[in-house]
Chain A
Amino acid sequence: MTAQTPTLTAEPLDTYTLNMGPQHPSTHGVLRLVLTLRGEKLVHVDPVIGYGHRGHEKMAENRTYAQFLPNTSRQDYLSGVIYNNAWCEAVEKLAGIAVPERALVARVILAEFNRLASHLMWIGAYLLDLGGWTPQLYTWDDREAILFLLESVTGSRLTYCTGRFGGLSRDLDADFPARARVVLKKLKDRWQEYEDLVEGNVIFVQRTRGVGIFTKEQCQSYGVTGSSLRAAGVAYDVRKVEPYGAYPRFQFDIPTRPESDAFARYWVRVQEMKQSVRIIEQALEQLPDGPILTERGLGSKKRLKLPVGTQYYAVEAARGAYGILLVSEGGTEPYRAKFRVPSYANLAVMQDVMPGYMVADLVGILGSIDVIIPEIDR
């Protein structure tokens, strides 16, 4: 089924247009949705993006590889570490820079903590959209513990710039494993509470079951990745399909669920959080000693000149598959850096999915696909 504009000339008085403008409490950013409604039912949804365009890809053409590092976190600010790491890893792969073992494992630990923080934030925001104000405060309490831990390692809480070419800028200190385990224990004690308060709650189940269903074929044709794809029954996770970094050393499962409704997406994300905890525990045990950086100031003290070539590097961000297409013509700056962001495709499939549902479900569906609009606009 492809999206097409309804022929409004047939019954023009039957439908009306409602603009959920760029300023709206629950569009998760500056997204404009032009809705065509017939009573309470949606006939057509037209997402208008671009309100948050900042020109990251153009900036990449005018900055050296090291100078682009702060931009990476700002694209998807809830997966800042993952995006930062991805840029470093993409450049390292194209330039052939070796990374010490400790840095590889440390990158995994930081990335998984970041994924946990992002999913916790999503749970809070989604429940807020549905009208339950309290679970957000509990998830933010847990997220605060994670952010405090990451602050002790990187110096930042949301927009991280800790990755360098050849490792990380700051090392994990000696008591980091102990503190990390305290945070993990706090999280594990909370799973039952979230299940009691949210997952088992009949009102939440009624709001999310059978809402926003899309098929595997729609996912494939739009390029949906991430938890939305796994909640449609496809076990696609970049960490397993195209492993990178230190991920092949750890054992973890890919949770999937066949129904592909909003409840399935919630369930998949909660299970992903549990798998992330599992990965972090294995990584903490396997954390090797050694240097955290091969050479200090690589790329900044002396500008990196990458060999000529094109490189596509994909990682699994909190929202889906994030890909960097890096084209180098031998200079100190990239010729072209294209970022494939997961939220773009995840939002695009909504044009096909939303018509037929009611306006009250709109917020429920939009929240469940977990988009960050500034990442779409870059």
Chain B
Amino acid sequence: MTLLTGLRDWIAGFLGEFLATWLLGAALIMTFLAFNVLFLVLAERKLAGHFQRRVGPMEVGPHGSLQSIADMIKLLGKQILTPVATDRFVYLLAPLLVFLPTLCVASLIPLTGAEAFANQPYGLLVIVALSGVTVLSIFMAGWSSNNKYAVLGGMRSVAQVIAYEIPVLLAALSVVMIAQTTNLRQIVEAQANTHWYVLYQPIAALLFFIGITAETNRAPFDIPEAESELVGGFHTEYSGMRFAMFFFAEYTNMLVLGALGATLFLGGWLGPWLPGPVWLLLKTYAVIFVLIWVRWTFPRLRFDQLMSFAWKLLIPVALLNLVITAILVHGVG
């Protein structure tokens, strides 16, 4: 800690206190997320391999542990092709924009109970609002590519994310009803007094989990990027580093939404012996393990089935859950 404060004071000498805190905080969050994403990419490939009775990458590094770095170097070295007839500004902006909401959300999730940030009174609402902005950049990518496949992929993604945000929000609202606050830190502190909310709200936890599977465009909801249907979906025309941005944005989104799920339902940083952030990471990776497990087991849902699943099944169940929770909370007091 003293190292970081010393670094901040040194930077504050040049830029002032506010900017120093801001820059250092942003850099730390991005570094932390980047390392986690590198690890997650490798973990997904190794787990996918083991589910399929093979092993994943094994050549680069011991048991393939340096494969992500090799992938990064490869993607950095690829030729960046820009098709001629694209909407140039939007085309170039989309891969950059896809990261921003996720990074904002990452700074709002409490790691321990005692840090200076992540203590907003309406933290949960801000998070849900921001995670809706990601889809804008996906649609920008699809539209500006001047490619029928990409437009179809982008439109499908927009419809899918909008539809599945509602169960996520309703499930989070059920938790808010029990915890009586939208402040994420207080939600976790409330779980310290009672049990983890997954025991009180199993249906909401399941709905939240299904919702984040669809939000991150993962199987069985990965129609927008389904290779066998429409070649590449919204990122068909992106190559090299730009494709890498979409790729990593997807994994960062997975991480952040997984952390949100761990915070809301699995008790955030609570746990004996180990420090808070380590517990949060473990719980996040537990959620992500189930995400990976589901991805490599089930086939894809067709798009209209996906939409009717959201609108006709998940949202009514989520509303019902909300009503029952409200009655129980009011009755129990």
A30–chain B nearest beta-carbon distance, Å: 16
| A25 near B228: Cβ-Cβ < 8 Å | yes
Q: State which of A16, A26, A132, A137 has its C-beta within 8 Å of the C-beta of B229.
A: A26
**1/0 contact string of B222-233 vs chain A (CB within 8 Å):** 110011110100
**1/0 contact string of B215-247 vs chain A (CB within 8 Å):** 000011011001111010000000000000000
**A130 within 8 A of partner (CB):** yes
| B231 near A358: Cβ-Cβ < 8 Å | no
- Residues of chain A within 8 A (CB-CB) of B51 are 134
A243–chain B nearest beta-carbon distance, Å: 38
Size of B's binding interface in residues, CB under 8 A: 25
**A363 within 8 A of partner (CB):** yes
| B223 near A363: Cβ-Cβ < 8 Å | no
Interface of B is mostly: loop
CA distance A358 to B152 in the complex (A): 13
CA distance A201 to B300 in the complex (A): 11
CA distance A359 to B226 in the complex (A): 13
**A188 within 8 A of partner (CB):** no
| A358 near B304: Cβ-Cβ < 8 Å | yes
| B228 near A203: Cβ-Cβ < 8 Å | no
- Residues of chain A within 8 A (CB-CB) of B296 are 133-134
Q: State which of A26, A141, A360 has its C-beta within 8 Å of the C-beta of B302.
A: A360
**B330 within 8 A of partner (CB):** no
CA distance A359 to B297 in the complex (A): 24
B14–chain A nearest beta-carbon distance, Å: 51
- Residues of chain A within 8 A (CB-CB) of B227 are 25
| B298 near A360: Cβ-Cβ < 8 Å | no
| A131 near B303: Cβ-Cβ < 8 Å | no
**A182 within 8 A of partner (CB):** no
**B195 within 8 A of partner (CB):** no
Residue of A nearest to B305 (CB): A206
| Chain B, range 180-234, C-beta contacts under 8 Å to A | 219-220, 222-223, 226-229, 231
**B299 within 8 A of partner (CB):** yes
**A247 within 8 A of partner (CB):** no
- Residues of chain B within 8 A (CB-CB) of A358 are 302-304
**1/0 contact string of B273-299 vs chain A (CB within 8 Å):** 000000000000000000000001111
| A130 near B231: Cβ-Cβ < 8 Å | no
**B148 within 8 A of partner (CB):** yes
**A38 within 8 A of partner (CB):** no
A19–chain B nearest beta-carbon distance, Å: 9
**Which one of B229, B231, B301 has the highest number of Cβ atoms from chain A below 10 Å of its Cβ?**
B229
| A360 near B303: Cβ-Cβ < 8 Å | yes
Give me 13 A-to-B residue pairs in the complex whose CB atoms sit less than 8 angstroms apart, sorted by A's number. Answer: A25-B231, A127-B299, A129-B228, A131-B300, A132-B297, A132-B298, A137-B53, A203-B301, A207-B300, A358-B304, A360-B303, A361-B302, A363-B228
15 further A-B contacts with Cβ under 8 Å, apart from A131-B299, A203-B220, A203-B299, are A18-B148, A130-B299, A132-B298, A133-B48, A134-B51, A134-B297, A138-B53, A197-B297, A201-B299, A204-B299, A206-B302, A206-B305, A207-B299, A359-B229, A361-B302
